[in-house]
Structure 1
C-alpha cells in the first residue's frame, strides 16, 4: 500500500510549489548517491501479497474494514478496493533458511487471518484477478475509505478528462467504460523486494526488466475478467489501462503512460527518478515541511517525501525504491509483475526464481541487456502476459524459444547459481526451483489450470456457474499449499 494522504484539494499554486520541491529533492538525491553511505552491509529481501476477499458463495466481499478489524494484525493493511487487503512481510536475508522462513511466516499469517476474517464472511483468495467480479464492482462506492485512493481516482480522471475505457481482446473480448480507477483494484499482485547498492542498482533493475517476461509466463494467474477469458495474465493490460491518464490524442502524440515498462536500459537509479520528474506531472502534489538540503547539510538523512510519493504514482513494473530504515538510507528494486497465488509455496518458488536469477544476471561478466534490445524485452513481456506458459519469447543465443524450454535449458541453472551466492543451501534451492522445473515440465500454472477447470465445469454453457465452481475448487486447493502443477 502507498503512503497515506489526507483528503484535500490542490490549487495551481500547490502544483507549482510541488514541482519546485520535487526537483529540489531530486538534486539532493543526486548528491546523496555521490556522497552518502547507503545501507548495503547485508542486503535484505522482502515480499508483499495482495488478497481478494470473497463471501461463502465466492462473490466479492466488500468488507476489508471488517476483515482487518477481525484479523487485528498490523501486517495486514487496506488496498484500493473494499474487496482487497494486503500483507507486508518482515524483510530478511536469504541465507540460513530465509526462503522457507518466508513461507512458514506467510502461511501462518494467512491461516490466522482466514480463520478470523471468515467470522465476518470474508475469505482470503490469492489470485491475480478474482474471476467472479462483476461490472458493479468497478463503481466508485467499491473504493476503500482511505482518502489516498479517492484522491488518486479523482486526480487520474481529472488528468484524463474523460472516462476510462478498458478494451482487451483474447479468446473472448471485453469493452467496458468506467468513471473511477476501480478496475485497478481487480489486479492483486505479489511484489518482491531486493535491496542493492547504488553501484549495482542499474544491473539489478536491468536484469529484472529482462526476465519480467519469463516470470509472467511461468507465473500467469489471471485469465478471466468480468466473465470473459482474455489473456493468461490479464492483470497486465488491465492495470496499464485502468490508471492511464492519457486521452486518445495524448496517446497519439507519444506521451508516456503512467503504467510503464520503460523505454531503455539504465546506467543509474537516478535515471528512473529523473524520468519520473521529467515526464510525469504530479497526481498528489503534497508538500512536506522538511527542507532536504538543510537536513543533508546537517548530516541527517532527508526523507525526500515528495520524490517518494511521486514515485509511488508512476507504476513501473519494476519500481525503484528509496527508503530509510534504522536511520540509514537504502535502495531496492520492487518487482511487481506477478499476480498473487495460487499457493504460498508457489509464490515462494516464484521468489526463489526471481532472487536467484536476478543475482546471477546482475553479476554476469557479459550483461544480458547488452545482447537484447529493450524493445525486445517489452515485446516479450506482453507476449508472455497474453499466452502464459506457452509463450514464445526472443532470447539471445536462442532466437524465438518457448518460455518453459528457455527456463529448463538455461535459466534454472542460473537461478541455482544466484541463490547459492545468496547463501541458500542446496536442499532449499532444489525444493523451490524444483517447483518451477515441474511447472515447466507439466505446462501447468495458475492460469492454465483455471482455464481447464472452467471448461471442465461447463464454462462454454454457463460461464458464471463454471467460474464459481472453479473458484471454489481453487480456494480448497490454495489452502492445501500443494503447488499448482500437482493439482489434477
Structure 2
C-alpha cells in the first residue's frame, strides 16, 4: 500500500493528522478522477492467492519468513499469520487467452513456493480454511513478526477498548469462542481477482460484481470446517467479519459498521463514494503519514500517490473493494475478494472466469436489474450463499413484478452461464478460452460438487472409522493428493 509500518502504537495527535490527510486526499481524488483520460485503457486482470504452510502431519507450520528467505520470486510475500504465504500474480490483458496466461502464472508461482517450502520441511495447502487448524496454532505468537501485523492487532484492540473478540458461528455444529488478537483472520485464505475498469464504467461494473458475487460464491465454496466444527460452506465469510471486528461493546442508539462488509447500498456515481464511505464510517487504524502532500503534488501537475487513503482503504475489508493505483499513469480497479483459495488451479480459474464474466455481462443490464433487487436482498444473498453453498436459494431481480424472486443457486448459475460467456467474449476473451473455463463450472453443477461438498462427504466417510480430529487429518491428505493431480474437484473420487 505504499507506506511501511515500523511502529506498533501511535499518539492521539497522529490520528488527528492522519484524518486531516484523508480529507485532503478525498478532495484530491475527486480532481484526479475528473482529469480527462485518467485511468482509460485496456482492461487487465490480476490475482492474489493466499495459502497455508503445513508440516508432514498436515498441521500449520509457522515458518513463512524462513520460506520467503528461500526464494527470490517477487510474487511471493508473507501474510498475517506465520503459517500463511501469498502469491501476487502479474496483471495480464483480459483480451485473448487471459486464463491460460494466469494458469501458467499460478502453476509457476505455486511450484516455486513448494520448492522453497520443501527446503524447510514444509508443504503447501491451498484451501479456504485448513481442516486441521487447532486453537493452539493461533494467538499472538502466530502473528507474522512484522510491526504492521502487530500494529493492526493493537489498533483494533484499542478501538474495542480491549474487549475480546467474540466468535459465534452456527452450522451443523456450533463454534463459540473468545479471542484476544486478530490471528483468527489468518485461518482464512482467499483468491482475490482484480479487474481494471475505466472510471466512467466503475459504478455499473461494481454493482454488477455485487450482483454476481453470491451465485458465484455458492458454486465455489471450499471452507466448511473450522477448529474441528462443521460450519458454513464458506465459513470464511462469518469468521472474517468477527475476527477483525473493531466495534467492541455496542452503545445504545449509536449505529456501528463492521470493517468487513458487503457494503451499504448500490453505488450511484463511482469509486470516490466508496473511498469517502470508508473514511466517514471507519476510524483510522494505522495513522502513518507519507512525506508527499497530495495537494502539492497536484499543484505540480503530477499524479498523487494518495498513500494514506490507500492505506486506510486497506483496513476496510469490503468483499468487493475499490482500488486506486497511481502506477503507470494511474487507474482504478475492482478487487473481487470473496472467493476461497483452492481446490485446484483449474477450479480457481473457472471461478474467476465466472465471476469476471458475470461482472462484465451483467454490467450491460445492471441499470434495469437494480430496481428489482433492494440492496438488503443482495447482502442477504451473499450470506445465504456463504452459509448454504449449492443449497442456497437466492433472490434475483426480474424485469416484471413481482421482483425479486427466489431461485435455487444451481438453477440460477445455469441461467447465468451464457451471460458470463457473453461478457467474456465481448471483452475480447477468445471463445474457446471462455468455453473451457465455464465448462468446468457447468460440470460442477451437474455433479452437485464443490470443494466444500467434497470435504463434507469425505469427512462423513472417514468419521465412520476415525475420531473427528484424525478424520480431518486424513481428509487433508486426500485433499492435497487430489489437488496435486490437477483434476477439478468435481472429478475427485470419495475414497
Match of 1:369 in 2: 370
Please tell me whether residue 88 in structure 1 is matched to residue 88 in structure 2.
yes
- Aligned residue runs from structure 1 range 276-295, under 5 A: 276-295=278-297
CA contact (8 A) 2:8 2:154 kept: no
Give the TM-score of the pair, scaled to structure 1: 0.97
> Of 307, 314, 317, which aligns to 2:316?
314
Partners of 1:313 and 1:211 lie apart in 2 by 24
Query: Normalization by structure 2: what TM-score?
Result: 0.95
Measured against aligned partners, the alpha-carbon deviations of 1:86-110 in whole angstroms (never above 9, x if no partner) come to 0000001122211111012211221
Root-mean-square deviation (CA, aligned residues, Å) is 1.5
Aligned-partner Cα distance in 1 for 2:261–2:464 = 34
**SS class of match (1:58):** coil
Q: Which residue among 244, 249, 271 is the counterpart of 2:273? A: 271
Question: Following superposition of structure 1 onto structure 2, how do residues 232-311 of structure 1 map, counting pairs within 5 Å?
Answer: 232-250=233-251, 253-267=254-268, 268-311=270-313
Q: Deviations over 1:316-361 (max 9, x none)?
A: 00010001222x1100000000110000010011111111111111
Show the 5 A alignment for 1:303-452.
Answer: 303-326=305-328, 328-364=329-365, 366-397=367-398, 399-408=405-414, 410-452=415-457
1:459: how far off?
6.1
Matching residue of 1:67: 67
**Shift in alpha-carbon separation, 1:373–1:460, aligned structure 2, 3 A:** farther
> Does 2:128 align with 1:123?
no
d(CA) in 1 for partners of 2:391, 2:192: 23
1:30-82 CA distances to partner (integer Å, 9 max, x unpaired)? 11112253232212111110001101110001110111122331210000000
2:129 is paired with a residue of what secondary structure? coil
Check the 8 A contact 2:213/2:355 in 1, yes or no.
no
1-structure distance, mates of 2:366, 2:280: 32
Residues in 1 aligned to 2:324 and 2:83: alpha-carbon distance in whole angstroms:
29
Q: State the Cα deviation string for residues 467-488 of structure 1 (Å, max 9, x = none).
A: 0001000001111111101111
Residue number in structure 1 paired with 2:169: 168
The equivalent of 1:485 in structure 2 is 490
Matched, 1:28 2:28: yes
Aligned-residue offset at 1:463 = 0.6
Alignment partners' CA distance in 2, 1:205 and 1:7: 35
SS at match of 1:51: strand
1:15 aligns with 2:21: no
Q: For residues 444-468 of structure 1, give each alpha carbon's deviation from its aligned partner in whole angstroms, at most 9, with x where no partner exists.
A: 0000000101111116851101100
Runs of 4+ in structure 1 displaced over 3 angstroms? 1-4, 250-253
Alignment of 1:210-225 (within 5 A): 210-225=211-226
1:39 is matched with 39
For residues 432 and 220 of structure 1, do their structure 2 counterparts lie closer, same or farther at Cα, with a shift above 3 Å needed? same
Query: Within 2, Cα distance between the matches of 1:284 and 1:292?
Result: 18
Q: Deviations over 1:387-433 (max 9, x none)?
A: 0111111112371111111111x210000101101211121111100
Aligned 8 A contact 1:48 1:87 in 2: yes
The corresponding residue for 1:149 is: 149
Stretch of structure 1 that moved more, 395-404 or 218-227: 395-404
- Local SS of the residue matching 1:262: coil
Number of equivalences = 486
Question: 1:46/1:18 Cα in 2 relative to 1: closer, same or farther (>3 Å)?
Answer: same
Q: Deviations over 1:220-244 (max 9, x none)?
A: 1100000000000000000000010
SS at match of 2:77: strand
The Cα shift of 1:368 comes to 2.5
- Quote the Cα distance in structure 1 between the aligned partners of 2:360 and 2:306: 28
SS of the residue corresponding to residue 250 of structure 2 reads: helix
- CA distance in 2 between counterparts of 1:218 and 1:101 reads 24
